[in-house]
A and B are shown apart, each in its own frame.
Chain A
């Protein structure tokens, strides 16, 4: 167990280093841009005096390292500054928008994992059957068709033609849970699309591989119940590479939320980042890049820790 803690400590250290590297990158976004960032923020029509005043206000007249230390110091204090465009505290903007995005991405992730694994198992255990072929074609199509197109098509079909789902907008689950579900179905569905098919295909391949191995054949020969063999012995081994894939799919879902929030007009954190980029609101972009990346890094860290529970070799050897 000691080596497992070492494993966690190593992963934690790596996560902190990654977050540090991201913070440097997020900070440098402004400086890596071509042209004068302050001029870009204020527009071509702004007076030179206004540009200079803004440069001083943003500490951009100071050395780069000093600027970084001021910025990161403020972030440790929970101060992200004020949006240059909306003139609102970035912290309050994040506090307002993050729950919206999480209330869509978390269900999308859960549905992708649960249904992805289930579909993968069904396909593997019914290999070659009609259901296997149907689901495999469906999963391959889901992976290949552009999600944006699917979103628009579903919107027209379910919202415009059949009028069974609202076309857009968001309702908080706290305000009205039933309405939240109605509004969340389409965005969550398009966010799940790619990740669910990737997980299902991975599970199917792994399952087929595992159920043909000697220890499963032996267990079958001993007359153990099929369900016990599949779900107790085979599934654990199937899930180890799937966890890696799930970690990758978190990024995919965060990316999908950008699209979903745009198409379904949801005021979440992903739309805030799009709007901030388009309006040259670099302070907000910096803060959001840091927050979203930290969220992905932490999610990946938790999955790394989960490895230890699924794979005893990691618990015992510390992942060596």
Chain B
């Protein structure tokens, strides 16, 4: 017994040593040195207010920071701001800045700079309507405070301040150099400064020597080089030869191959891409105007098989317009499990026992061929003959992608912390005058519109989520206005095994925290 006990103690001690060793190794960050990454396309701008694409967010995150930031648990917290105070009765949000924040050009982030950033964004950003559409005006009340005055209440302002609308650009740089100069030069408050860029080739960043938050969040690398590698095969070769440490823009096959070889794959926890099958119903008497037909179509599609077989398991399935694990996800939504018999039964009940003919339209730029052919096959099984309609990018874009009169549309779009805004633009009655998914639909249920508008103008977060959850149920279960075919990750990077992401891409923020990317020994 004594011997057994001694052996057990020895075993525990040995295992403890291993455990400590592995913890120590996991924590052993290499500070300094260079990291070399690559993206598939270059940025089109360096000015914070013009940022739109994922690549621009990645390439300019070393330089720019947001007023609000999600913490590790997914709670939105002030970052450059010290506080954000909502006052629904007076239709205002008050932003108070932290004291002592400086831009890399030495100027101070104060009330004047904040006021200018807000006004400039509202005036010049291409996404101004999305973020500041409800803003009436801005007012500086003291050296560190600006009040946002709204025309109508909008719960999404804090989320917008976590997005591009919350990025701060140096007012001094703008005043001294002018608008056009700013489009080509990034001057922010971030941990790095851009020291060189050659368009379509590479960018170099070096540590910001005067970074205001260096003590709490030190830059892990002395230098970052970001290359442009458009071709996926070339990027894979660059990763294999260790010419680059990480890549943004890989396709599913590349991710699958490299992940099986021990490379790390990280994705954002808040931002996703949904591939929605939208049911057009502008034509009177269209089979798609019947909810049972729409539900039959939803039941007829095996999304799990599409994700597993066509996307190498790199996409996933959600039964609604939100992803499990995010606050917008509703456990009340039932969705549609793959069930051919149920689909046939619903079609028969709707008066189409032998099916019917329709079409699915897609823009050629969307690169959704693989889904289109699969959808055609699944619907054929329940008797629905589908014509695949590939529309030229120019036609698709110029007439508005959701302006198809009859049939279905397959379209992907990104969403995340702005889901309420997205849902309002796509599924409320606002979609008719805008460019939302239901723009050309005759289906604009009053209760859905009410739920969405209530979410947008809710007094607090709980009421917003309660209404958003109800809207999800109405969109999917009650009216089946669209079917989420599969979901993709909004931002994903593949890294060398020794490059660790502890909240760079793998967090809830739209902009990336470069100080959370590091190398381990």
Q: Which residues of A contact B (CB under 8 A)?
A: 33-37, 39-40, 43-47, 85-88, 93, 96, 152, 155-156, 159-160, 163, 166-170, 262-267, 271-272, 274-275, 279-280
Q: Are A160 and B240 in contact (CB under 8 A)?
A: yes
Q: Are B129 and A47 in contact (CB under 8 A)?
A: yes
Q: Which residues of B contact A (CB under 8 A)?
A: 41-42, 44-45, 126, 129, 180, 183-184, 198-202, 227-231, 233-234, 237-238, 240-241, 243, 392-401, 435
Q: Are A160 and B237 in contact (CB under 8 A)?
A: yes
Q: Are A85 and B44 in contact (CB under 8 A)?
A: yes
Q: Please name all residues of chain A whose beta carbon is closer than 8 Å to the beta carbon of B126 when the two chains form the complex.
A: 43, 45-46
Q: Are A34 and B395 in contact (CB under 8 A)?
A: yes
Partner pick for A44 among B41, B42, B228, B401, CB 8 A cutoff: B401
Q: Are B237 and A156 in contact (CB under 8 A)?
A: yes
In the complex, what's the smallest C-beta–C-beta distance from A54 to chain B, in angstroms?
12
Q: Are B237 and A169 in contact (CB under 8 A)?
A: no
- If A87-B180, A167-B238, A266-B201 are given as contacts, then 16 extra A-B residue pairs at C-beta distance below 8 Å, sorted by A number, are A35-B392, A35-B397, A35-B399, A39-B397, A40-B394, A40-B397, A87-B183, A159-B241, A160-B241, A170-B201, A265-B227, A265-B228, A267-B198, A267-B201, A275-B42, A275-B200
Expressed in whole angstroms, the Cα–Cα distance for A123 and B230 within the complex equals 40
Q: Are B201 and A169 in contact (CB under 8 A)?
A: yes
Q: Please name all residues of chain A whose beta carbon is closer than 8 Å to the beta carbon of B397 when the two chains form the complex.
A: 35, 39-40, 43-44, 280
Q: Please name all residues of chain A whose beta carbon is closer than 8 Å to the beta carbon of B129 when the two chains form the complex.
A: 47
Q: Are A35 and B395 in contact (CB under 8 A)?
A: yes
- Tell me if B's interface is mostly helix, strand, loop or mixed: mixed
- Tell me if A's interface is mostly helix, strand, loop or mixed: loop
In the complex, 22 of the A-B residue pairs with CB atoms within 8 angstroms, ordered by the A residue number, are: A33-B394, A34-B392, A35-B395, A40-B393, A44-B401, A45-B435, A87-B45, A88-B199, A152-B233, A156-B240, A159-B241, A160-B241, A168-B234, A262-B231, A265-B231, A267-B228, A272-B200, A274-B230, A275-B41, A275-B42, A275-B200, A279-B44
Partner pick for B237 among A44, A155, A170, CB 8 A cutoff: A155
Expressed in whole angstroms, the Cα–Cα distance for A271 and B44 within the complex equals 15
Q: Are B243 and A168 in contact (CB under 8 A)?
A: yes
Q: Please name all residues of chain B whose beta carbon is closer than 8 Å to the beta carbon of A163 when the two chains form the complex.
A: 241
Q: Please name all residues of chain A whose beta carbon is closer than 8 Å to the beta carbon of B231 when the two chains form the complex.
A: 262-263, 265
Q: Please name all residues of chain B whose beta carbon is closer than 8 Å to the beta carbon of A263 when the two chains form the complex.
A: 231, 233-234
Q: Are B230 and A265 in contact (CB under 8 A)?
A: yes
Partner pick for B201 among A43, A87, A265, CB 8 A cutoff: A265
Q: Please name all residues of chain B whose beta carbon is closer than 8 Å to the beta carbon of A34 when the two chains form the complex.
A: 392, 394-395, 398
Q: Please name all residues of chain B whose beta carbon is closer than 8 Å to the beta carbon of A272 when the two chains form the complex.
A: 200
Expressed in whole angstroms, the Cα–Cα distance for A263 and B41 within the complex equals 13
Q: Of B180, B198, B231, which is in contact with the most chain A CB atoms at under 10 Å from its CB?
A: B231
**Contact (A167, B234) CB under 8 Å given A36-B398, A267-B228:** yes
Partner pick for A168 among B45, B229, B398, CB 8 A cutoff: B229
In the complex, what's the smallest C-beta–C-beta distance from B393 to chain A, in angstroms?
7
In the complex, what's the smallest C-beta–C-beta distance from B95 to chain A, in angstroms?
26
In the complex, what's the smallest C-beta–C-beta distance from B6 to chain A, in angstroms?
52
Q: Please name all residues of chain B whose beta carbon is closer than 8 Å to the beta carbon of A86 when the two chains form the complex.
A: 44, 199
Expressed in whole angstroms, the Cα–Cα distance for A173 and B270 within the complex equals 46
Q: Please name all residues of chain A whose beta carbon is closer than 8 Å to the beta carbon of B199 when the two chains form the complex.
A: 86, 88, 93, 96, 267
Q: Are B398 and A40 in contact (CB under 8 A)?
A: yes
**Contact (A152, B237) CB under 8 Å given A34-B394, A37-B394, A85-B44:** yes
Expressed in whole angstroms, the Cα–Cα distance for A266 and B202 within the complex equals 10
Q: Please name all residues of chain B whose beta carbon is closer than 8 Å to the beta carbon of A87 when the two chains form the complex.
A: 44-45, 180, 183-184
Expressed in whole angstroms, the Cα–Cα distance for A93 and B184 within the complex equals 13
Nearest A residue to B180 via CB reads: A87
Those 6 A-B pairs whose CB atoms lie nearest each other, nearest first: A35-B398, A35-B394, A267-B201, A267-B200, A39-B398, A36-B398
Q: Please name all residues of chain B whose beta carbon is closer than 8 Å to the beta carbon of A262 when the two chains form the complex.
A: 230-231
Q: Please name all residues of chain B whose beta carbon is closer than 8 Å to the beta carbon of A43 when the two chains form the complex.
A: 126, 397
Expressed in whole angstroms, the Cα–Cα distance for A35 and B365 within the complex equals 15
Q: Are B237 and A264 in contact (CB under 8 A)?
A: no
Expressed in whole angstroms, the Cα–Cα distance for A35 and B392 within the complex equals 9
Q: Please name all residues of chain A whose beta carbon is closer than 8 Å to the beta carbon of B243 when the two chains form the complex.
A: 159, 166-168
In the complex, what's the smallest C-beta–C-beta distance from A186 to chain B, in angstroms?
11
Q: Please name all residues of chain B whose beta carbon is closer than 8 Å to the beta carbon of A35 when the two chains form the complex.
A: 392, 394-399
Q: Please name all residues of chain B whose beta carbon is closer than 8 Å to the beta carbon of A47 when the two chains form the complex.
A: 129
Q: Please name all residues of chain A whose beta carbon is closer than 8 Å to the beta carbon of B227 when the two chains form the complex.
A: 168-169, 265
Expressed in whole angstroms, the Cα–Cα distance for A152 and B41 within the complex equals 19
Q: Are B400 and A44 in contact (CB under 8 A)?
A: yes
Q: Please name all residues of chain A whose beta carbon is closer than 8 Å to the beta carbon of B400 when the two chains form the complex.
A: 44
Nearest A residue to B183 via CB reads: A87
Expressed in whole angstroms, the Cα–Cα distance for A90 and B168 within the complex equals 29
Expressed in whole angstroms, the Cα–Cα distance for A168 and B198 within the complex equals 15
Q: Please name all residues of chain B whose beta carbon is closer than 8 Å to the beta carbon of A45 when the two chains form the complex.
A: 126, 435
Nearest A residue to B434 via CB reads: A45
Nearest A residue to B47 via CB reads: A87
In the complex, what's the smallest C-beta–C-beta distance from A179 to chain B, in angstroms?
15
Nearest B residue to A39 via CB reads: B398
Q: Please name all residues of chain A whose beta carbon is closer than 8 Å to the beta carbon of B392 when the two chains form the complex.
A: 34-35
Expressed in whole angstroms, the Cα–Cα distance for A167 and B401 within the complex equals 39
Nearest A residue to B425 via CB reads: A45
Expressed in whole angstroms, the Cα–Cα distance for A209 and B234 within the complex equals 44
Partner pick for A88 among B184, B238, B435, CB 8 A cutoff: B184
Q: Of A34, A39, A46, A170, which is in contact with the most chain B CB atoms at under 10 Å from its CB?
A: A34
Expressed in whole angstroms, the Cα–Cα distance for A98 and B395 within the complex equals 32
Expressed in whole angstroms, the Cα–Cα distance for A118 and B494 within the complex equals 47
Q: Please name all residues of chain A whose beta carbon is closer than 8 Å to the beta carbon of B180 when the two chains form the complex.
A: 87
Q: Please name all residues of chain B whose beta carbon is closer than 8 Å to the beta carbon of A93 when the two chains form the complex.
A: 199
In the complex, what's the smallest C-beta–C-beta distance from A277 to chain B, in angstroms?
10
Expressed in whole angstroms, the Cα–Cα distance for A262 and B199 within the complex equals 14
Q: Please name all residues of chain A whose beta carbon is closer than 8 Å to the beta carbon of B234 when the two chains form the complex.
A: 152, 155, 167-168, 263-265
Q: Please name all residues of chain B whose beta carbon is closer than 8 Å to the beta carbon of A275 when the two chains form the complex.
A: 41-42, 200
Expressed in whole angstroms, the Cα–Cα distance for A166 and B399 within the complex equals 45
Q: Are B395 and A168 in contact (CB under 8 A)?
A: no
